[in-house]
């Protein structure tokens, strides 16, 4: 055997980012080894599937689509969205985060940046948003403390505390969730909805923002909040398309519901609860005024979201379910 062939046999490529490692393949059956670049586990899967220019219409959740159509049909909604976007760009544009956060890249938070690249490349996206690492609580009321925005220059804000709380694979899933909002073209609606939630929770009585808030009718506010909750269902599907592991998605959503008590969480029980979840009572509850009253205090609804993912991955799914997308659209 030549030295060149021996060297080739001693290299292991990360199935996520492609980084080469000087390892014997049999080593991975004995110990867990993480990629030096993206920190994801080597050998966790034989092949990480990538999609060539995945069309989001193929996997977008129908509830998301229906809620958006309903919202856009309301009288005066275009003017409301325009005002919300103008204020949000002033208050929470990329300049605000550039001066309050650290920009991730190849020399700063390189493993986090590599995961962002993995998510974008898996979906076949040709461009990727900027990535900022923020102090906790910089954006109030957001799921996981993350935020994404930017109409001309897209960006994602990732709280530093998640780097310690989540596993490397869970971090990839959270990033993929935010990427999903871009991929499904949820912006600028998402930016407007998130900013309205912040206004509802934080606006002061003498603030000029109060006039803006008063000008938005309850039906428009409620429809915007309803769509925002249902948009997460599409972004969850994006997470699964990138992570390609239902158990890890269940672990992430269980943690979202149960906090840091994972040692007390039984994933089998969580999945059974999600399997038995009845969608219609929740949809009826959402259609009432509760989302408007609770605003950003509405929980993440992780059980419902897991139930929707399980339905999408079911073999009984007749349209483009998860398994069919994997088979048909893999590059």
Give the global pTM: 0.92
Quick: pLDDT tens for 178-234: 999 999 999 999 999 998 888 877 655 557 777 888 889 988 998 998 999 999 999
Quick: pLDDT tens for 235-284: 999 999 999 999 999 999 998 888 777 778 899 999 999 999 998 898 88
Check whether residue 156 and residue 290 sit in a common domain. yes
* pLDDT at site 7: 45
% of the chain at pLDDT higher than 90: 62
Check whether residue 187 and residue 290 sit in a common domain. yes
Check whether residue 132 and residue 217 sit in a common domain. yes
**CA distances from residue 56 to 172, 183, 233 in whole angstroms, order as listed:** 19, 6, 13
Does residue 6 have a pLDDT over 70? Answer: no
Number of domains composing the chain:
2
Query: What is the CA angle 87-88-92, rounded to 5?
Result: 130
Does residue 290 have a pLDDT over 80? Answer: no
HEC secondary structure over 77-139 = HHHHHHHHHHHHHHHHCHHHHHHHCEECCCCCCHHHHHHHHHHHHHHCCCCCCEEEEECCCCC
Check whether residue 169 and residue 298 sit in a common domain. yes
Give the structural domain span for 11.
Answer: 1-48
Per the CB < 8 A criterion, the answer to whether 131 and 112 are in contact is: yes
Check whether residue 107 and residue 17 sit in a common domain. no
- DSSP label at 40? P
Check whether residue 33 and residue 118 sit in a common domain. no
Is residue 129 packed enough to be buried (19+ CB in 10 Å), middle (13-18) or exposed (0-12)?
Answer: buried
Per the CB < 8 A criterion, the answer to whether 274 and 306 are in contact is: yes
> How long, in residues, is the chain?
331
Does residue 54 have a pLDDT over 50? Answer: yes
Burial profile 294-317: b = 16 or more Cβ within 10 angstroms, e = fewer: ebbebeebbbbbbbbbbbbbeeee
> Considering just the CA atoms, what is the radius of gyration of the chain in Å?
21
Quick: pLDDT tens for 127-153: 999 999 999 888 876 668 899 998 889
């Amino acid at each position: 055997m030549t030295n060149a062939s021996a060297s080739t046999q001693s290299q292991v490529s990360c199935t996520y980012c492609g980084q080469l490692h000087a390892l014997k393949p049999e080593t991975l059956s004995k110990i867990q080894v993480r990629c030096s670049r993206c920190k994801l586990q080597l050998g966790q899967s034989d092949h990480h599937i990538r999609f060539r220019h995945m069309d989001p219409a193929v996997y977008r959740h129908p509830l998301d689509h229906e809620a958006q159509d309903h919202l856009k049909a309301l009288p005066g909604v275009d003017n409301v969205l325009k005002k919300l976007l103008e204020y949000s760009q002033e208050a929470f544009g990329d300049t605000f985060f550039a001066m309050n956060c650290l920009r991730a890249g190849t020399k700063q938070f390189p493993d986090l940046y590599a995961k962002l690249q993995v998510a974008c490349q898996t979906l076949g996206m040709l461009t990727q948003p900027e990535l900022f690492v923020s102090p906790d609580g910089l954006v109030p009321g957001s799921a996981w403390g993350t935020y994404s925005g930017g109409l001309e220059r897209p960006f994602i804000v990732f709280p530093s505390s998640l780097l310690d709380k989540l596993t490397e694979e869970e971090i990839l899933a959270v990033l993929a969730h935010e990427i999903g909002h871009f991929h499904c073209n949820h912006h600028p609606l998402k930016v407007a909805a998130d900013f309205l939630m912040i206004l509802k929770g934080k606006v002061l009585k003498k603030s000029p923002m109060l006039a803006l808030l008063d000008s938005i009718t309850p039906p428009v506010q409620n429809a915007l909040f309803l769509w925002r909750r249902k948009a997460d269902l599409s972004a969850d599907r994006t997470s699964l398309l990138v992570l390609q592991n239902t158990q890890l998605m269940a672990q992430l959503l269980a943690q979202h519901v149960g906090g840091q008590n994972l040692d007390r969480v039984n994933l089998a029980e969580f999945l059974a609860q999600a399997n038995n979840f009845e969608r219609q009572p929740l949809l009826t509850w959402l259609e009432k005024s509760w989302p408007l009253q609770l605003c950003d205090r509405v929980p993440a609804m992780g059980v419902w979201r897991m139930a929707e993912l399980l339905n999408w991955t079911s073999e009984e799914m007749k349209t483009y379910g998860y398994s069919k997308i994997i088979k048909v659209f893999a590059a």
